[in-house]
Amino acid sequence: AATTASNLGFEVRQASRLQVRTKAEARKIEQSGEKGAGLILRPPVVTVMGHVDHGKTKTLDAIRSTNHVAEEAGAITQHIGAYQVTYADQKITFLDTPGHEAFSSMRAHGANITDIVVLVVAADDGVMPQTLEAASHAKAAGVPVVVAINKMDKATANPDHVKQQLAEIGLVVEDWGGDVVAVPISAKAKTGITELLENILVVAEMLELKADPNQLATGVVVEAEMDKSKGPVATVLIQNGTLKVGDIIVVGSVSGHVRAMQNDIGKRLKKAEPSTPVEILGLSGVPQVGDRLVAVASEQQAQALIEKHHAEQATARAISLTNAYEQISAGKIKELNIVLKTDVQGSIEPIRGSLEKVSTDKVKVHIIHAGTGNINESDVNLAIASNGLVIGFNVKPEGGAAKLASEKGVDMRNYDIIYSIIDDVTKATQGLLEPVLVEVVEGRAELRAIFSAGKGRKVAGVYVTEGKVTRNSTVRVLRAGKKLLEGGKISSLKRFKDDVREVAAGYECGLGIVDYDDFATGDIIEFYGIVKQ
Ligand code: GDP
């Protein structure tokens, strides 16, 4: 049977559903030709999303407790950030951090590890704002959704109403003639869980997820921390190849040898195959969640990869309304992806409609998520992951949204006139928009000591608490929340006796400011730059 997700009809799916249990032996499919050589099916990687309190955590717990691998002697459940269950002789990997925040920050980091999203919707509460957010995130990522209609044990459960609401947000379930699988479950009573797993496997089978275990491993960090006795510990989801104890690995900007590995039930492993989550020891530092793991053949290769990683971080450039035309003309983008947040529902459709009409033959304006409420970190992460921008109408950024957008260079604009949005986006697609100057905070430091620099001049001994200071940074001095200096220039930046170009968080340095020396311990010094956006 043809098995690409797009051309599958209902009947083919029914057929493949029946094959699920007998699939185990057929897993190893021999591929003919060079390219497919060595490819075998790999287990699906699943992320559970949904509105707060709809039962994501409880669903993950219920799934985990259906697993019988734990019967193995000495098995103790470990929380390493992901776990695997076996159903009908097939494995499924679940990421243990539910929610679209983790999903989107991972994608914003460039790591697409989820194959299937389980969208949990409480049968008594229905589709809520975060249900819609999760659906938008899954859609933007091109990841299929299996809906779990949870809390079916409740007397107030109304699955039909949930299905109707799902259709309204573009998820049309099978009994409504659509192709989204919806499974009624109760995470509390642990009912429907095996049906959910079975349906995940059906979708996985259509996706034909493959990997080659005979290669050096690649993977992605899903959790990382510094352990007092073990040193840096990272949980990595292996995506391709096989990771073995002793392998030389590069993870983001750190490297090492795999000293030991264990799985989610505390079992020591010598090797880990595709889609397996493993906790690894032996790294030189703690990597970041979302960092890529690459096993390499030599130390030299490791070094070269680390350098490449640094270079890539320096050149990554986000899309903005001002550089959109340049990127469109260079053929780098074909879609201008926009996350739209408005104060009221009624504003969404008029803005969406007008913006989509701005599309030209070179670029399509695409609203990847539209919702009401202030701009949150999840919106910014979605924009980063989709190389898009955020447009707010009568809303403000909240939480860490502004900081994240500024750090990642995401263009986030707020408007209070619809016409201005349309006008700016139209101009952007034609290369007619004037750049705006925005401030990007590079780092912060705390003033801890004051030194004499001769001729009655003073320098500040500061401790960099966040980000970094560079010789070219512009300086602002704050005391008890009051601004004492704005737009200052650095006259000297020293570590011990040496002039340096930059100082990172966690280090002390001596700082001189041009024509300014009104220092007091406890002053906060901010370092920033002005960039065109
Ligand atoms: P999350 O915020 O989506 O991770 O939700 P939780 O898993 O923490 O569940 C939120 C609340 O709903 C908790 O009090 C759970 O005990 C309850 N809950 C979760 N699943 C069910 C269910 O199937 N039935 C009932 N009655 N309550 C549930």
Q: What is the pLDDT of residues 372-426, one digit of tens each?
A: 999 999 899 888 888 888 999 999 999 889 888 887 888 899 999 999 999 988 8
Express each pLDDT in 182-193 by its tens digit: 999 999 999 999
Nearest CA to ligand 1 atom 6: 55
For the chain, percent of residues with pLDDT exceeding 70: 88
Q: Is the pLDDT of residue 312 over 80?
A: no
Helix (H) or strand (E) holding 119, with range, is strand 116-122
- Residue 455 tokens read as 């001729």
Q: How confident is the model at residue 8 (pLDDT cuts 50, 70, 90)?
A: very low
Nearest CA to ligand 1 atom 19: 55
CA of 235 to the centre of ligand 1 (A): 27
Q: Tell me which residue of 433, 348, 446, 438 sits closest to 394, measured CA to CA.
A: 348
Q: Tell me which residue of 476, 475, 470, 468 sits closest to 506, measured CA to CA.
A: 468
CA of 53 to the centre of ligand 1 (A): 6
Nearest CA to ligand 1 atom 15: 55
Q: Is the pLDDT of residue 19 over 90?
A: no
Q: How confident is the model at residue 338 (pLDDT cuts 50, 70, 90)?
A: very high
- Across the chain, mean pLDDT equals 86
* Strand order across the 364-372 sheet: 364-372, 335-342, 389-393, 412-415
Residues 223-246, mean pLDDT to the nearest whole number: 94
Q: Is the pLDDT of residue 11 over 80?
A: no
Report yes or no: 210 and 35 within 8 Å, Cβ to Cβ.
Answer: no
pLDDT at position 69 is 56
CA of 187 to the centre of ligand 1 (A): 7
100 lines ligand 1 (CB under 6 A): no
pLDDT at position 186 is 98
50 lines ligand 1 (CB under 6 A): yes
pLDDT at position 435 is 66
* Range list of β-strands (E), 382-515: 389-393, 412-415, 437-452, 458-470, 474-479, 482-495, 498-499, 502-504, 508-513
Express each pLDDT in 478-501 by its tens digit: 998 899 999 999 999 999 889 999
Q: How far apart are the first and last CA of the chain?
A: 51
Q: Which residues contact 209 (CB under 8 A, 6 or more apart)?
A: 41, 42, 43, 44, 115, 275
Residues 298-316, mean pLDDT to the nearest whole number: 75
* Count of beta carbons in the 10 Å neighbourhood of residue 468: 17
The ligand 1 atom at the shortest distance from the C-alpha of residue 52 is 2
Nearest CA to ligand 1 atom 2: 53
Q: Is the pLDDT of residue 9 over 60?
A: no
Backbone angles phi, psi at 68, to 5 degrees: -105, 5
Q: How confident is the model at residue 440 (pLDDT cuts 50, 70, 90)?
A: confident
pLDDT at position 489 is 95
64 lines ligand 1 (CB under 6 A): no
Residues 15-44, mean pLDDT to the nearest whole number: 49
60 lines ligand 1 (CB under 6 A): no
Mutation pick for ligand 1 pocket among 188, 190, 193 (CB with most ligand atoms within 8 Å): 188
Instruction: Say how many CA atoms lie within 13 Å of 188 toward its Cβ.
Output: 11
226 lines ligand 1 (CB under 6 A): no
98 lines ligand 1 (CB under 6 A): yes
Report yes or no: 297 and 248 within 8 Å, Cβ to Cβ.
Answer: yes
pLDDT at position 364 is 86
What span, in angstroms and rounded, lies between the C-alpha atoms of 305 and 355?
A: 41
CA of 149 to the centre of ligand 1 (A): 12
Q: Tell me which residue of 388, 429, 437 sits closest to 408, measured CA to CA.
A: 388
The ligand 1 atom at the shortest distance from the C-alpha of residue 189 is 23
Residues 150-170, mean pLDDT to the nearest whole number: 96
Express each pLDDT in 274-297 by its tens digit: 999 999 999 988 888 888 999 999
Nearest CA to ligand 1 atom 17: 55
DSSP 375: B
pLDDT at position 433 is 66
Residues 356-366, mean pLDDT to the nearest whole number: 86
Cβ-count burial of 85 within 10 angstroms (0-12 exposed, 13-18 middle, 19+ buried)?
A: buried
Residues 455-480, mean pLDDT to the nearest whole number: 91
Q: Is the pLDDT of residue 516 over 60?
A: yes
Q: How confident is the model at residue 521 (pLDDT cuts 50, 70, 90)?
A: very high
